[in-house]
A and B are shown apart, each in its own frame.
Chain A
Amino acid sequence: MVVDGLDEADRAVDRLFHALADATRRDMLRRCGRGELSVSRLAAAYPMSFAAVQKHVTVLERAGLVTKERRGREQLVRTDPDAVARARRALDALESAWRARVDRMTGLLSEEEGGQEAPDTG
């Protein structure tokens, strides 16, 4: 998929802040942080529908804060990501580092160009 660079980084940050901006979701993170929990166990802890709890879990999942795994009839939620998620995070970190470097390279190239083509500076 071809994605516009800064927009994708912006969206990732948006998803993270959006996920953390809700008190219920922060509480869910704390509960899952003590071990994996099934969505139904999680749903029992809140005065809301199973579907509403699932929606919250999806928001947390999209922000990369939890992973969800189906085991039998249960859906397990955990904050400690598995190896694949950790590997993905490492690649994400490398990607953002290189995107930022490319942006700085672009800046330097246009700066040099500007220096050559703008005799009225200074």
Chain B
Amino acid sequence: MTVTRVDKDVDALTLTLVADFTAPVERVWQLWADPRLLERWWGPPGYPATVEEHDLTPGGGVKYHMTGPDGEKYGGWWRIASVAPPTSLEFSDGFADQDGKPDPEMPVTTVRMTLTGREDGTRMELRSVFDTREQMERLAEMGMVEGMSQAAGQMDALLEG
């Protein structure tokens, strides 16, 4: 199993996740650094992502939207705080409004991602922190597209099986 450790700290509003890949560091880094690859893993199934802007330099950012099954577009943005290719990236991760502008009412998380080379591949450590408790609760109240579509996928599999 790829995800080897998960730690959730409710008081610190923090999720820490450790994943091990068999690929070398440079290949895992490319999943973040190549916008065409990023599009293929960022959004949940049925919500393909289109990356419009992609500049992984401090002060730069990523602008993207996901397209739902009904054609509805869900925008998002990253703001890069620091970057050290090919091993670390720190950015704010938020939602955008219909015009692609950052939506101040939507939750923002700060993500720190580090890659470490190992004998048999790469360890990715990810730390995601909510800016405020209010924002964190907001996410819980929102649709949780990902969780629901996963549950739906599992139901489909059960029904087909």
Nearest B residue to A93 by beta-carbon distance? B144
Q: Give bound CA distance, A100 to B146, whole Å.
A: 8
Instruction: Flag if A94 contacts B3 (CB, 8 Å).
Output: no
CB distance from A67 to the nearest CB of B (A): 14
CB distance from B26 to the nearest CB of A (A): 11
Instruction: Flag if B3 contacts A5 (CB, 8 Å).
Output: yes
Size of B's binding interface in residues, CB under 8 A: 41
CB distance from A116 to the nearest CB of B (A): 11
Instruction: Flag if A105 contacts B137 (CB, 8 Å).
Output: no
Size of A's binding interface in residues, CB under 8 A: 37
Q: What chain A residues lie within 8 Å of B101 (beta carbons)?
A: none
CB < 8 Å neighbour of B17 from A2, A3, A102, A107: A102
Nearest B residue to A98 by beta-carbon distance? B17
Q: Give bound CA distance, A9 to B27, whole Å.
A: 27
**If the complex has contacts A13-B154, A94-B128, are A109 and B144 also in contact, measured as CB distance less than 8 A?**
no
Instruction: Flag if A90 contacts B130 (CB, 8 Å).
Output: yes
Asked if A95 is an interface residue, CB under 8 A from chain B, the answer is: yes
Residues of B with Cβ closer than 8 Å to A?
Answer: 1-6, 8, 10, 13, 15, 17, 19, 21-23, 27-28, 31, 37, 40-42, 44, 109, 124, 126, 128, 130, 133, 136-141, 144, 146-147, 150-151, 154
Residues of A with Cβ closer than 8 Å to B?
Answer: 2-6, 9-10, 13, 16, 83-84, 86-109, 112-113
